[in-house]
Each structure stands twice: as structure tokens, then as C-alpha cells.
Amino acid sequence: MKPTLDSRQLHAFAALARRGSFTLAAKDLFLTQSAVSHTIKALESDLGMRLLDRVGRRVLLTQAGEQFLRHTEKILREMEAARAGLEALTKRGHGRLRVGAGTTACQYILPTVLREFRQSYPQCVIRIEPGANGQPWELLRGGHIDLAIVLEPPAPVANEFAFVPLFQDELRFLVAPLHPWAKLGRVPREAIEGETLLLCNKASPTFRLVGDYFREEKISLSNSIELDSMEAIKELVKIGLGAGVFASWIARAELESGSLVSLPLGARTLRRRWGVAYLKCRRLALGEEMFIGLCQAATEALGLSAPRAVA
């Protein structure tokens, strides 16, 4: 394998071609004339051909030198562009941010976070991967997103990812105020199987949590409607189409106005832990750290408490 070209040799050759003199090139490079001469000889030896001719005190490029100069200038421009690009990433307000988030996070958490983030990082290129609830781990692992607002990683993949907790919530039944359960003030266990349940779509972790919960309770969920939008679920619940299963904070305004009523799923509570996940092997950029901090601030502003540490 032929040796890789040395950037110092390329800089010396470009300076010599530009100035046409070893003395002037050495002055530009803050080197001795002898050092420049040895560098050019080493370059010609590496390439196996003569790149220049000495004509008195002047230096003229050979045909090979003229061709090599075009490549040299292109390489040096690319090197400068690479350095400038890397330096831009360290400047406040530059870089990129790719975030995966499910529909709930997109609707209720991200708007506030992105508004604040844009003020601090106006030049940052932001891309949101919506509906990432079903496959955030694959997207993170494949380098397609940098961060994901998700529920706590399941055991099979937990060791691969760092998880910064945001808050903990509880899934409950939400019904219209005229629903029989609302009038009764509780949910009869025997009535659940006969009720139409409005749930998040099957690809979401929440759907799996709800399914596992009722399987353990020996209750079949054969009569359900799955939707991607929490707003759509709330509207269908309001008109009495069935009972929704979601967290009360998503329907805070409706609960305060009395257009929805919240009831527990059963004797056992079903809680979720939310947070921001990323690959453990990655070192977070400054913008990514700020984004996580803004997520924490936004969820605190919503009155959502941070989850307790798991022993």
C-alpha cells in the first residue's frame, strides 16, 4: 500500500506553486528554506515523479506538478471546510438535533421545548421523527435520531441506553360525565369487558402496558378502538362512544371543566415512567444537554413529578 499524503507536504507544495520561490514559500510557512526543500523531495519520492523544475531562482511546475496542484488545492479546501464545519458545531446555536417522539410527546411536551430551544439555538437544524414510540430503540441504535422522548426502556435493551427521567404518570379510565361509571363513581370489574375501550394504537408501548395489565387481571379487551391521536380519543369519549384509557394530565382542561371524569383502572395502579433516552456510548453535545434540560423544565411546568428512583 502506498503511503498516505502528508498534509504538511501538500501545504508546502501549494505555497511553493503559489510563490514560485523556495525562499518566499519558506517565509509564508514560517519554515527554513532547507525544510521546504526536504519536504518537497519527500513528496516527489512518495509520488515517484518530479513535480517541479528549478530555473535559476524560480520554480516552475512540471506537467505532473500542474495536475497535482489541482488535486492539492481541492484537498486543502476540503480540509478547511471540514475544520470549519467542526468548529461550527461547537458554537452556540449551530449543529443539528434529531429527536424521536410519540404522538403524546409531540402534542403536549415538544411545542414548549422546541420554542425555548430555538431561541437558544437559532441556527440548529432540528428534525422530529414523529410516531417513534414503536421503534425508538432501533432508530437510536442505527444513528437515525440522537434523542428520544419515550417510556422507560424495556429490560431487553435497557443496558444499551442512558435514560434521563422526566416524570411518572398513571393510566386511568376517562369517561363522559353521563357515563354510568361516572354516575356510580367507580368502575365495576364485571362491566369492563362489555365496554368499548378507546386505546392508543397497537404499536405504542402504552397499548402493550394496558394489555398486560388486564391480562393479569383476567379481563379480556375484545371490544376496543385504537387511535393515534389522544385528542381524537378524548373527543370520542366526550360523545359517549366508550371509555378512554390514558393519563389524567393529558386531559387536565377537560377534567377541570367537567367534560371528562377520571376513574382508576382497578385495585392496582398502572404507572409509566417517561424520560429522554440516548445511546450510552454517545457523548452528548451541548445542544442535546440543553434539550434534555428544557424537557425537564417543561414537564415540571405541567405539574408532572419526577419518578422515584427504582431500588
Domain 96-165+276-301 identical in fold to domain 168-271: yes
Asked whether 308 and 283 are in contact (CB, 8 A), the reply is no
The CATH superfamily of 96-165+276-301 is Periplasmic binding protein-like II (3.40.190.10)
The pLDDT of residue 55: 85
What is the distance between the terminal CA atoms of the chain, rounded to a whole angstrom? 56
The domain made up of 168-271 has a fold known as D-Maltodextrin-Binding Protein; domain 2 (3.40.190)
The pLDDT of residue 221: 86
Q: What is the DSSP string of 134-191?
A: SSHHHHHHTTS-SEEEEEPPPTTTGGGEEEEEEEEEEEEEEE-TTSHHHHHTS--GGG
Asked whether 128 and 167 are in contact (CB, 8 A), the reply is no
- 32 to each of 5, 7, 43, 187, how far by Cα in Å? 21, 18, 17, 89
Q: What is the DSSP string of 259-282?
A: SSEEE-SSSS-EEEEEEEEEETTP
The pLDDT of residue 2: 63
Please report, for the chain, the start and end positions of each structural domain, with discontinuous segments joined by +.
7-90, 96-165+276-301, 168-271
- What pairing do the DSSP bridges indicate for beta strands 58-61 and 52-55? antiparallel
**Could you give phi then psi for residue 283, rounded to 5 degrees?**
-100, 125
The pLDDT tens digits along the chain (311 residues) read 566 678 899 999 999 999 999 999 999 999 999 998 999 999 998 888 999 998 888 889 999 999 999 999 999 888 887 776 666 555 555 578 999 998 889 989 999 999 999 988 888 889 998 865 558 898 998 889 999 999 998 888 889 999 999 999 999 999 999 999 999 999 999 999 999 999 988 888 899 999 999 999 999 988 899 998 899 999 999 999 999 999 999 999 999 999 999 999 999 999 999 999 999 988 898 889 999 999 999 999 888 876 554 43
Q: Which three cell numbers stand for residue 124?
A: 440548529
**Could you give phi then psi for residue 180, rounded to 5 degrees?**
-55, -35
Assign 194 to helix, strand or coil: coil
The domain made up of 7-90 has a fold known as Arc Repressor Mutant, subunit A (1.10.10)
Q: Which amino acid is at 165?
A: P
Q: Is the pTM of this model over 0.75?
A: no
Q: Which amino acid is at 214?
A: F
- 158 to each of 89, 155, 162, 282, how far by Cα in Å? 29, 5, 8, 15
